[in-house]
């Protein structure tokens, strides 16, 4: 019988808890330990995670448990310190996005991952979804013709959103919607159309220097010269609306709010495309494949570093 991969988690926020469920119910892994500084949050999980070792100190957790893979879901400014420690222990790593809180931190993490010779992956969940695969297929097979422009619109009623209010996500130091949301779209563009270059960004910040951006516009280019525009704003009188639009010479595709793909053309009304694929890629299974040396669809730290390069320019850091 194939051995289950023993998994530990560091950080149980809104996103971390979603991934916890993926590990919890996957037959190929055993969730053995969870760490969070919030003891009350751990206590709330105690009954559900009866056989899981709970910790408030990640070093203590790593020393006291047999662990193969560590998922790191702490706020961005702590990624660097924790990832480097985990890699020194020669553990496989799954890290939340963005990879780091600066370009210098990101390159150190990438170099450490290469030196450790372990599986290193980023949690960019969109590339595993059926809706994204359909989007990508239609663009790359030429169904909308030659790509003429790409636009990403990030419009928020408020930031932070009601479900994610915490003590860091509205901070200029490590929060904001550029840092939290834009990396998903940067990576999807890299995956679908190639790397982004020639980044020029204009960011609006409030007078309070501790608070994150309120709006931004960024102009970039693909390698072939196609223009890519990002724009975002928060505190507006409309429902949250996220749009990733690829304009082709024959038609246009628009991925809205993560899950709906619309297509339009000069002679047809805009229509919502049915998602016909029945099985999505599974990020946990792909990581297990990578650990076993099999072909795997994972987003590596190399790709995370490429995203970080664009992100830092968007933030004008």
How many alpha carbons fall within 13 Å on the CB side of residue 294? 8
Instruction: Report which DSSP code applies to 209.
Output: T
The ranges assigned to domains in the chain are: 5-123, 130-279
- Which helix H or strand E contains 10, and what residues bound it? strand 5-10
Cβ–Cβ < 8 Å for 48, 54: no
* pLDDT averaged over every residue in the chain: 95
* Tens of pLDDT, residues 124-161: 999 999 999 999 999 999 999 999 999 999 999 999 99
* Tens of pLDDT, residues 96-123: 999 999 999 999 999 999 999 999 999 9
CATH topology of domain 130-279: Dihydrodipicolinate Reductase; domain 2 (3.30.360)
Same-fold call for 5-123 versus 130-279: no
Question: What is the spatial distance between Cα 172 and Cα 239, in angstroms, rounded to a whole number?
Answer: 24
Question: What is the spatial distance between Cα 266 and Cα 72, in angstroms, rounded to a whole number?
Answer: 46
Question: What is the spatial distance between Cα 311 and Cα 187, in angstroms, rounded to a whole number?
Answer: 10
Residue 79 dihedral angles phi and psi, to the nearest 5°: -60, -50
Both tokens of residue 262?
A: 């619309």
Both tokens of residue 197?
A: 């270059």
Measure Cα distances from 243 to 132, 162, 249 in Å.
Answer: 13, 20, 19
What percentage of the chain has pLDDT greater than the value 90? 87
- Residue 278: the pLDDT is 61
Q: Which CATH number fits domain 5-123: 3.30.360.10, 3.40.50.720, 3.30.70.2860, 3.40.50.2300?
A: 3.40.50.720
- Residue 1: the pLDDT is 41
- Average pLDDT estimate for 184-206: 98
Cβ–Cβ < 8 Å for 100, 76: yes
Taking the model in full, what pTM does it have? 0.96
- Average pLDDT estimate for 173-201: 98
* Tens of pLDDT, residues 214-270: 999 999 999 999 999 999 999 999 999 999 999 999 999 999 999 999 999 999 899
Cβ–Cβ < 8 Å for 177, 232: yes
Question: What is the spatial distance between Cα 273 and Cα 134, in angstroms, rounded to a whole number?
Answer: 9
């Amino acid at each position: 019988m194939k051995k289950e991969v023993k998994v530990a988690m560091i950080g149980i926020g809104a996103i971390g808890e979603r991934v916890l469920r993926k590990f919890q119910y996957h037959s190929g892994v055993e969730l053995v330990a969870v760490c969070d500084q919030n003891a009350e949050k751990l206590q709330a999980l105690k009954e559900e995670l009866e056989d899981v070792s709970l910790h408030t100190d990640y070093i203590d957790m790593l020393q006291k448990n047999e662990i193969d893979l560590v998922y790191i879901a702490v706020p961005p400014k702590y990624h660097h310190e924790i990832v480097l420690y985990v890699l020194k222990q020669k553990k496989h790593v799954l890290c939340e996005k963005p990879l780091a809180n600066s370009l210098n931190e990101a390159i150190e993490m990438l170099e450490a991952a290469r030196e450790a010779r372990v599986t290193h992956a980023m949690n960019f969940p969109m590339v595993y979804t059926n809706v994204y695969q359909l989007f990508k297929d239609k663009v790359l097979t030429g169904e909308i013709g030659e790509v003429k422009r790409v636009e990403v619109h990030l419009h928020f009623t408020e930031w932070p959103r009601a479900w994610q209010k915490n003590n860091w996500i509205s901070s200029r130091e490590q929060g904001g919607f550029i840092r939290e949301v834009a990396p998903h779209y940067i990576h999807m563009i890299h995956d679908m159309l190639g790397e982004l270059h020639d980044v020029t960004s204009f960011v609006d910040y409030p007078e309070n220097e501790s608070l994150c951006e309120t709006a931004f516009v960024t102009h970039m280019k693909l390698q072939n010269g196609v223009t890519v525009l990002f724009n975002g704003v928060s505190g507006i009188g409309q429902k949250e609306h996220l749009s990733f639009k690829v304009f082709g010479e024959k038609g246009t595709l628009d991925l809205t709010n993560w899950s709906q793909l619309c297509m339009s053309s000069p002679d047809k009304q805009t229509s919502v495309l049915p998602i016909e694929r029945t099985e999505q890629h599974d990020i946990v299974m792909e990581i297990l494949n990578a650990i076993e040396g099999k072909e795997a669809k994972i987003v590596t730290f190399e790709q995370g570093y490429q995203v970080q390069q664009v992100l830092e320019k968007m933030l004008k850091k």
